[in-house]
Structure 1
Amino acid sequence: MSGSPSRVYVARLAGLPVYDPNGDQVGKVRDVVVMLRQDTQPPRVLGLVVEVFTRRRIFLPMTRVTSVDAGHVITTGLVNMRRFEQRATEVLVLGEMLDRTVTIRETGATAVVFDMAMEQWRTRDWVLSKVAVREGAKRFRRRGQSHVLDWVDVSGFAQQEEGQGAAHLLAAFESMKPADLAGVLHDLSPKRRKEIAAGLADERLADVLEELPEDDQVEILAALDTERAADVLEEMSPDDAADLIAELPTETAERLLTLMEPDEAEDVRRLLTYEERTAGGLMTSEPVILPADATVADALAHVRNAELSPALAAMIYVCRPPLETPTGRFIGVGHIQRLLREPPSELVSAVLDTDLDGLRPDDGLQAVSKYLATYNLVAAPVLDDEGRLLGAVTVDDVLDHLLPEDWRESEQQEVDRDAP
């Protein structure tokens, strides 16, 4: 394998681009698949888990890898595009081996794994040869000593560890978008999902939950203590929180709503009153709402909020006070593309689109889809009979319901490791 270094640290592979021989990017590395062996033989590296552009994770055998370095991976160009399914004899290095507590054979000391290295032997097989560990601190406020040891010098990988941490795994995936990290969690065992969720900050976990299938959402939320579950729900957008709470047992849902901040819980309770596949059930109650005397500069400042999805940031909603939903009388919408062409001091009320009648909360999914398509919109206001703004429906929420229920998990076929 010309051009490859003799040793590659696995944590540094996370997120690296994978290219075919023509230089076209195939996807990104998400993990390394190994098989543990008897005695103290180093695990054999079977291949890489690669995320292709459809967000599907595929298996790339090491026999199809022609080069690995610090900046990229190059393949032979022959890639099986069927979804990766982990076998019982396989172990994911990043997902399952990082943060493991192991024993250093020479001293009997325990240490935590923060990285591992693989290298290619003369037989051209790749093996997991080195284990980077950090011992526990021996003095107050002192960081533990780090070592890079041969595989034979540590033990403990063969046993399942309860309460395994996730700090080093999360550090390897720190720059991942929530949807990509959700894909990683979905492919792991329930035990590992629980441990990783415990290591995520509330806001980050909320963003990841919004991208997971409902079964995974319920499983992860159920594994949290009740107070933390309520905190995470508060960090989710109200419509996503309402969808998740609707999947919980009534008693559990009510207990969580009681623990949430009253304002957050009120938004969720209101959304729960609408049927799921209606404008009311699809909408978020927190679009960008401004008064009529706001300026274009005010509007642009609000849509710069990094927490807004692109669809929500594409439009502002101008209303009479109060500005919390349900608002005072709805006046119109401001399209950000139009506002960008106006002087910052201009009042938004002077450049509003007042011709949109808006959706009604009981409009069905087909009516909502037709409305967005007719007016070429990525978001639309939802109004009550008195002309007050209740929320906004965005195209991403509509697509979630138009696609098959298992679209996040589609094509999860077992991969033939020997197939071309």
Structure 2
Amino acid sequence: MTSPTRIYLARLAGVAVFDPNGDLVGRVRDAVARLRLTQRPEIVGLVAEMPMRRRIFLSINRITSIDAEAVVLGTGTLNLRRFEKRPNELLVLQELLDRRVQLDPGGQAGAVVDVAMECSRGGEWALTRVAVREQTGRLTRRGHLHQVEWERVRGLTGIADARGTANLLAVLEDMRPADLANVLQDLPDARRNEVAAALDDERLADVLSELPEHDQVEILAALDRERAADVLEEMDPDDAADLLNELPPPEQDVLLDLMQPDEADPVRQLLKYSPGTAGSMMTSEPVIMPPDATVAEALARIREPQLSPAVAAQVFVARAPMTTPTGRYLGMVHFQRLLREPPADLLGGVVVNDIDPLQAATPLPEITRRMATYDLVAMPVIDQNSRLVGAVTVDDVLDHSLPRDWRDRDAMTAPTETPEGIDG
């Protein structure tokens, strides 16, 4: 194996894993250590996350090169069974980062910020050193950082006391919301709730939208109601409505009353529609502009970074007011058409209105058929007075077409093995 003799494991989080041909297999999410009575824990492998959020085990013996830049596997057969931790194993990053420990001698209290593994002359990797930051009791000053031998730290195994989340969050901060949601599903419930509560409102809102409904409900229930309402305000109205639909009506009313009225009103409107209809799955905040806006103004609007690709793919044109429900709906303009038109031209001159909008009661199968027929990524939804009330996007259709538990990792299935390189 070509590797440094000592590697701090937090630096491996997110590192790409490649097969012998240089193809990406996945990314490192953790290291697996086997606990031993009289010796330091032995590193037996890494946990890698593959596409489709599947986590697999990579035996340390299969790895030919490992460092903070890349992990390279040797030839053989890659086992794609979902990783499951055994009773005598330890997930190093998940279970040790932020753990409250004491240093010997003296019993100085601190929190684990990183753990190092080293390779012996015999080729065995083991946990050897721990980076521990002292607890000073002061919020404005960080304690001294110690890098000490594994044996000098008490409290690394057994049941952990209540702990912080700063170091684990530092490892996770660059993850996409969907990947972070995947990590949360692997944490014990109490730890998951601690990490979720430590995220800022906007980040937590994005992550909640990527979790199965039962996890969303449990995390929201672990927050105080004022914080829960703040997080709901940061979610897209359709996602907030989907989450609130999982709660009893009295709890829905409490949280909606705690939200700002201008944030709660669109959610209340969406909750009125029957499940499985355009009204229940649409976003009430598509890009809407008046017919006298210019192409240049429309292009500037869809460049706003907070817009999802599906929402930013087209501009809906309507009479004032520009918030839903709007004035009379006039049509839409796809961003490709905007790119082809002179910047000074008015939207009213390039609008397309030859496709009938959806009604709020249009069922999912009809929505899917029409979007596929016309190759659309979004369709307008109007009311009986031809006012735009929202838009159904392709991601909304996929979300409601897939099985209800599609985000739940426990429900996923996949092949157990695949050839990698040549047979070994």
TM-score tier, shorter chain, comes to over 0.9
Write the deviation string for residues 74-97 of structure 1: whole angstroms up to 9, x where unpaired.
112432112222333332222221
Deviations 1:89-130 (A, max 9, x none): 332222221111110011211111111111222332221111
Cα deviation for residue 295 of structure 1 reads 1.4
1:100 to 1:412, Cα distance in 2 relative to 1, 3 A? farther
How far apart are 1:239 and its partner, in Å? 0.6
For the pair 1:399 / 2:380, whether they are aligned, the reply is: no
Distance 1:401 1:227 in 2: 29
Cα 1:35–1:269 change in 2 (3 A) is: same
Distance 1:387 1:208, change over 3 A: same
Two-structure CA RMSD over aligned residues (Å):
1.8
Residues 407 and 29 (structure 1 numbering): CA distance in 2 closer, same or farther, change over 3 Å? Answer: same
Cα separation, 1, equivalents of 2:139 and 2:67: 39
Q: Which residue, out of 17, 42, 45, partners 1:44? A: 42
CA distance in 2, matches of 1:113, 1:49: 20
Aligned AA (1:55)? R
The letter for the 1-side match of 2:367 is: V
- More deviation in 384-393 or 298-307? 298-307
2:303 is the alignment partner of 1:307? no
User: 1:85·1:413 contact (CA, 8 Å) conserved in 2?
Assistant: no
Q: Tell me how far apart the structure 2 counterparts of residues 367 and 8 of structure 1 sit (CA, whole Å).
A: 55
Q: Which residue in the other structure is 2:31 paired with?
A: 32
Q: TM-score, normalised by structure 1?
A: 0.95
Contact 2:287 2:314 in 1 (8 A): yes
1:283/1:394 contact within 8 Å kept: yes
Conserved in 2, the CA contact under 8 Å of 1:84 and 1:412?
no
Aligned residue identity for 2:236: S
Structure 1 partner of 2:412: 411
Instruction: Give the equivalent residue in structure 2 for 1:289.
Output: 288
- Indicate conservation of the 8 Å contact 1:83/1:414, yes or no: no
**Residue 290 of structure 2 contacts residue 318 of structure 2 at CA under 8 Å; is this kept in 1?**
yes
Could you list the per-position Cα deviations for residues 148-178 of structure 1 after superposition, in whole angstroms to 9, with x for gaps in the alignment?
1111010112232343211111111211110
What's the CA shift for 1:139? 6.8
Name the SS for the 1:84 alignment partner. Answer: coil
Over the matched positions of the two proteins, sequence identity in percent amounts to 56
Matches within 5 A, 1:208-357: 208-357=207-356
Deviation at 1:412, TM superposition (A): 5.7
Rate the CA distance shift 1:282–1:218 in 2: closer, same or farther, 3 A.
Answer: same
Structure 2 spans left out of the alignment, 5+ residues? 418-423
Return closer, same or farther for 1:346/1:112 CA change in 2, 3 Å cut-off: same
**Following TM superposition, by how much is the alpha carbon of 1:140 offset from its aligned partner in structure 2, in angstroms?**
7.8
The 10-residue stretch of structure 1 (52-61 or 146-155) with the greater mean CA deviation from structure 2: 52-61
CA distance in structure 2 between the aligned counterparts of 1:140 and 1:216, rounded to whole angstroms: 32
Assess if the C-alpha contact under 8 Å between 2:25 and 2:50 holds in 1. Answer: yes
Question: Equivalents in 1 of 2:34, 2:293: separation in Å?
Answer: 61
1:75 — aligned with what? 73
Task: Give the AA of the match of 1:320.
Answer: R
The aligned counterpart of 2:159 is 160
Structure number with greater CO (CA < 8 Å, separation at least 6) is: 2
2-structure distance, mates of 1:131, 1:413? 37
Bigger shift: residues 63-72 or 82-91: 82-91
Per the TM alignment, residue 54 of structure 1 is displaced from its structure 2 partner at its CA by: 2.3
Cα separation, 1, equivalents of 2:53 and 2:344: 43
SS at match of 1:79: strand
Partner in structure 2 of residue 367 of structure 1: 366
More divergent stretch after superposition (236-245 vs 60-69): 60-69
- Asked if 1 retains the 8 angstrom alpha-carbon contact of 2:80 and 2:415, the reply is no
TM-superposed CA distance for 1:37, in Å, is: 2.9
Using the alignment, how far apart are the partners of 1:193 and 1:138 within structure 2? Answer: 25
Deviations along 1:293-346, one digit per CA (max 9) or x if unpaired, are 111222122212222111111011111111111111111111011111222222
Instruction: Provide closer, same or farther for how the CA distance between residues 336 and 84 of structure 1 changes in structure 2, counting only shifts above 3 A.
Output: same
Offset of 1:270 from its aligned partner? 0.7
CA–CA separation in structure 2 for the residues paired with 1:255 and 1:351: 45
**Inter-partner Cα distance in structure 1 for 2:344 and 2:149:** 66
Structure-2 residue corresponding to 1:172: 171
Distance 1:191 1:138, change over 3 A: closer
Aligned residue number for residue 101 of structure 2: 102
Secondary structure, in 3 states, of the residue corresponding to 1:243? helix
- Does 2:53 correspond to 1:55? yes
SS at match of 2:52: coil
- The amino acid of 1:122's aligned partner reads R
Structure 1, gaps ≥5 residues long = none
Counterpart for residue 86 of structure 2: 87
Counterpart secondary structure, 2:359: coil
CA distance in 2, matches of 1:135, 1:127: 24
- Matches of 2:48 and 2:28, distance apart in 1: 5
Secondary structure of the structure 1 residue equivalent to 2:129:
strand
**Structure 2 CA distance for aligned equivalents of residues 330 and 411 of structure 1:** 42
Which residue does the alignment assign to 1:64? 62
* AA of the residue aligned to 2:53: R
- 1:373 is paired with a residue of what secondary structure? helix
**What amino acid is the match of 1:107?**
G
2:159 and 2:413 mapped to 1: Cα distance? Answer: 26
**1:173–1:48: structure 2 CA closer, same or farther, 3 Å change rule?**
same
Distance 1:393 1:71, change over 3 A: same
Cα distance in 2 between the residues matched to 1:221 and 1:63: 42
Contact 2:80 2:414 in 1 (8 A): no
